[in-house]
Amino acid sequence: MNIDKQSSDMAWWREAQNARDERVAWWQDARFGMFVHWNASSQLGGVWRDKVYSGYTEHIQRLATIPCEVYREEVVGVFNPTEFDADRWIKAAKSAGMRYFIITAKHHDGFAMFDSDASDYNILDATLFGRDPMKELKEACERHDIRFGFYYSHAFDWGEPNGAGNDWDYDNPGGSQLLHGGRNWYDKNPHLVPKFRTYVDQKAIPQVVELIEKHDPDILWFDTAAKLPPEECLRVLKAAREVGPDVVINSRIVQYTGHGNYGDYLSTVDRPADFHPVSEDWEAIPTTNESYGWSANDESYKPSLFFIRLLAKAAVVSVKMRTFVFGVNPAGRSAPNSVAA
């Protein structure tokens, strides 16, 4: 695929862009949202085998190099959030003035927090919970007039032999060991690309299609696109556009191509303390401490005045449009769950 936006291969993208302004109108108006970072790793709080891991706690499987078999049995297998209350979460967001809500449908560990036909590594088949919390949150958003969307890790998947990033169970690129050429492994070792295309065909695209067809989200938030060739990420985007032409999609669907933003708006840097002007619609993603997933040991919470000032700055930065997503910890305390990393 020629990824140049003016190429014949990209005619589908240019056609989709004709509806872009209409598609993002609600998002431009909403301006303030909640992004909850929650999955099976949340119950660990950044601790594994009595060892505390610093940094993003949602990366605990990678940080502790937990084998997939062990992670599935001892982390996913015991995940049973019986006190989960979708209405309580959405009411909290609305009472704070937030007008859209995003939730992690699948993070980098590959475990789906929704009922998936594409993989049995999901909350109904792999846990005792027996419910689809994504469905319940969507229904709660409809009841309380809040826009709804998913985070989906399309390029990173540690649970799949054909997924990028797991270099402790598999000999795969995209991980901390920088195997097979490091960051741009697909340019240095193109013969490996078909293996990871299998993952895109068999899991990433089917699950994105499932999320759109089953739950009709208003927004999809993708991440870490640099782990796969841009051509593969564009195939995910194309599939999403075919079944969800009205879904708002962030810039992290495709990254580092030299051709600019293929999404509907720009996702800026993680954990900002300030904003820099940009020339297009953008979204900032701060945290309350230094992690996105819940951390049992990170008490470096920023004072409320920090976020009041940050909101004020977001309102006055001289750009076309800006929105601000913020989070509340599912455990009940103000905490770092505003966006994915």
H or E, element range at 216: none
- Tell the burial category of 308 from Cβ atoms under 10 Å away from its Cβ (0-12, 13-18, 19+): exposed
Return the SS3 of 42: helix
Alpha-carbon distance 44 to 39, whole Å?
A: 10
Cα–Cα dist 154/139, whole Å: 24
Give me the architecture of the 8-326 domain, per CATH. Answer: Alpha-Beta Barrel (3.20)
Structure-token match 């998913």, residue found: 150
Position 251 scores a pLDDT of 96
* Rounded Cα distance, 29 and 14, in Å: 24
Among residues 127, 128, 131, the alpha carbon closest in space to that of 140 is found at 131
Q: For residue 52, which amino acid is it?
A: V
Q: Name the residue ranges covered by the structural domains of the chain.
A: 8-326
Buried b / exposed e across 31-56, counting CB within 10 Å, b at 16+? bbbbbbbbbbbbbbbbbbeeeebeeb
- At residue 330, the pLDDT reads 54
Record the tokens describing residue 95, joined without a space. 């009472």
pLDDT at position 278 is 81
Residue among 74, 75, 39, 73 nearest 56 (CA)? 39
pLDDT mean for each 10 residues of the chain (341 residues): 94 97 96 94 97 95 98 98 97 95 98 98 97 98 98 98 98 97 95 98 98 98 96 98 98 86 92 84 90 93 91 70 53 35 27
